[in-house]
Amino acid sequence: MRIGIISDTHGLLRSEVFTRFAGVDHILHAGDIGPAALLTELEAIAPVTAVWGNTDGFDIRQRVPEVATVELGGVRIVVLHGMQLGSPTPARAAAAYPDADLVVFGHSHKPVIEQVGGVLAVNPGSAGPPRFRDPITCAIGIIEGGRISVERIELRNER
């Protein structure tokens, strides 16, 4: 099972995401989505589990929860934006959700994939407009036999 993992689009869904997420079975979006139409575009690729972030308006907050849980391929997944953790880190994410196999968060725009005990903590980084010198990234997760691995994907800075 292939999972597309994305965050901090801030209203910009790059065309490359459609190529990189082609064939995924599910998409996880960790908030700061932008307009609700962006979720509709992602849903054209695969089912989406999304949460709202601190910059999302009421249209998004009415459509998706603040924290979502989903089980995919035997993997227990928690998705949150990360503002709930202050300055989110893998250690804070894993400590907040120790029963999850995978915790996906965003907010900082800093991509990280780190195993913390039994929790794989993933911030796919920001796939939206460039900010400072942060890379533009998303991620792909592969679930096999109830275990997940995640690879970071760099995106082009298209306008």
Instruction: Tally the residues of the chain.
Output: 159
Tens digit of pLDDT at every position of the chain (159 positions): 999 999 999 999 999 999 999 999 999 999 999 999 999 999 999 999 999 999 999 999 999 999 999 999 999 999 999 999 988 999 999 999 999 999 999 999 999 999 999 999 999 999 999 887 889 999 999 999 999 999 999 998 765
| Domain spans in the chain, listed from the N-terminal domain onward | 2-154
Q: For residue 141, what are its two tokens?
A: 């997760």
* Three-class DSSP category at 38: helix
Sign of CA dihedral 31, 15, 125, 112: positive
C-alpha of 36 from chain center: 16
Residue 130: both structure tokens together: 């460039």
What would the DSSP string read from start to end of 86-102? SS--HHHHHHH-TT-SE
pTM of the model: 0.96
CATH numeric code, 2-154? 3.60.21.10
